[in-house]
Structure formats: C-alpha cells, structure tokens
C-alpha cells in the first residue's frame, strides 16, 4: 500500500529487454534506500514495482508487457515519482493506494491560477465513473483531491509545493498520465452489485 505522498523524483536511467517485458534501471535521486530489501515494493509514477536489485543510488525492477500496455511514463530518461511502500507506523498524509493503476488519462488543460495550476484530465468512461467531486484520485502516483467533474473530465488544483516536489510540473495538454481511483469507490460498487447479504 501507498499514500500518494511522493518521496523523491527519480529518473529512468535505462530500459533493457527482459523475458516477457523490460527491466528498468531507476536512479532514485533523494529516496532513502537504507531500509529497502530485495523484494520490497516501490511505486514508480503510481505503479507498484518490485525491487529485484538495488544500491544506495538506484534500483531495478522488471515490468511485464501487460503492465507496459496499461501504463505511461516508463521511457528511458523520463523523470518519475517515487514512493516506498507504506509501513504501519507511517502517517497517512494522502489516501490509501494499492499501486495498481486503473488506466491512463490525457491532460486536456494545464492552466496557471496565480501560483497554482488547474489540471484537467480526460479519463476513459471505465475510470471516470469512479471519480467524484471532493474524492481522491492518484495522478502519476500523486494523491490529489478532485475539485470538479464534468462527464469524462475532472479537475484538480496543484499548489506550488506539489508542483515542485513531483513530476506534475512538466505536464501539458496531450500528455498521458497514470490514474488510480479511490479504493473505496470500487468496494462500494462491488457491495452494490452483490446486493443484500444472504440473497
């Protein structure tokens, strides 16, 4: 589990072919790797990946073709948002996230509003149905609050701190972003589908 509070902005240093997919070599920048062990989970642009090799300055993860087909932002040289998996003793500053990206959206607007930015994203209908005003959404692994929803599009506000601490500062119309909806929305849908207990 993750919280969507980005700990560091790293960079995909190299992408190598691997059986069934690719192997990513990721420079971790300021991410503290002192408590990381082989097999630990690290979110990369919101995607939960397993560390299969690491040092103080980098880690490696293998990504399947199925995952590559469903997510964005894994090109060589790309900056990436990094977050280590949540520990039970950690503060929950964002919202609970699984690191299982639901799909991608397209940035449709990125406008200055004073020092802030208004980010508008178009989401597929299969994802948009779970997005609610004042609910939580993860964009490229960053926990954000939805300010407005209109059909398949939704808006969030990015404050200067979020812009400076994440890759979201580089967004512009037409860019593809990873989306993970609030876990509660999926559980509510499942309970509704199942109907009353015992029937």
How many whole angstroms separate alpha carbon 141 and alpha carbon 76? 18
Q: What is the mean pLDDT of residues 53-75?
A: 96
The token duo for 41 is: 């989970």
- Domain architecture of the chain: domains with CATH: 8-84 (2.40.30.20), 103-189 (2.40.30.20)
Structural Rg of the chain based on CA atoms: 17
pTM for the model stands at 0.94
Query: Which phi and psi (to 5°) does residue 24 adopt?
Result: -95, 135
Q: What is the per-residue pLDDT for 90?
A: 82
* Chain centroid, CA 86 distance in Å: 14
Least confident of 9-23, 36-50, 80-94, 162-176: 80-94
Q: What is the mean pLDDT of residues 32-40?
A: 96
Q: Calculate the alpha carbon distances from 190 to 98, 129, 147, 179, 187 in Å.
A: 17, 14, 25, 20, 5
User: What is the pLDDT, as a whole number, of residue 198?
Assistant: 61
Residues 80-93 pLDDT 10s: 999 999 987 788 88
Amino acid 189: pLDDT: 80
User: What burial class does residue 27 get, using C-beta atoms within 10 Å of its C-beta: 0-12 exposed, 13-18 middle, 19+ buried?
Assistant: middle
Cα(25)–Cα(42) distance, integer angstroms? 13
Is the pLDDT score of 199 beyond 70?
Answer: no
Q: Supply the pLDDT for residue 34.
A: 95
Comparing CA positions, the residue from 44, 68, 64, 67 lying closest to residue 54 is 44
Q: Using the predicted structure, report yes or no on whether residue 79 has a pLDDT greater than 80.
A: yes
Query: Is the model's pLDDT at 122 over the cut of 80?
Result: yes
pLDDT of 139-189, one tens digit each? 999 999 999 999 999 999 999 999 999 999 999 999 999 999 998 887 888
**What is the sign, positive or negative, of the torsion defined by CA atoms of 125, 81, 145, 135?**
positive
CA distance 126 to 103: 9
- Place 133 in a pLDDT band, splitting at 50, 70 and 90: very high
């Amino acid at each position: 589990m993750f919280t969507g509070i980005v700990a560091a902005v790293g960079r995909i240093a190299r992408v190598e072919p691997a059986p069934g997919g690719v192997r990513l070599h990721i420079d971790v920048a300021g991410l503290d790797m002192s408590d990381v062990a082989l097999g630990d989970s690290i979110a990369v642009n919101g995607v939960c990946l397993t560390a299969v090799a690491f040092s103080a300055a980098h880690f490696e993860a293998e990504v399947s073709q199925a995952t590559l087909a469903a997510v964005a932002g894994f090109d060589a040289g790309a900056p990436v948002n990094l977050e280590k998996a949540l520990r039970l003793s950690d503060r929950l500053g964002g919202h609970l996230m699984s690191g299982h990206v639901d799909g991608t959206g397209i940035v449709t607007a990125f406008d200055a509003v004073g020092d802030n930015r208004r980010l508008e994203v178009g989401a597929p209908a299969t994802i948009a149905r779970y997005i609610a005003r004042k609910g939580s959404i993860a964009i490229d692994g960053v926990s954000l609050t939805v300010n407005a929803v209109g059909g398949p599009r939704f808006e969030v506000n990015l404050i200067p701190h979020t812009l400076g601490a994440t890759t979201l500062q580089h967004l512009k119309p037409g860019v593809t972003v990873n989306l993970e909806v609030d876990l509660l929305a999926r559980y509510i849908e499942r309970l509704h589908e199942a109907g009353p207990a015992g029937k």
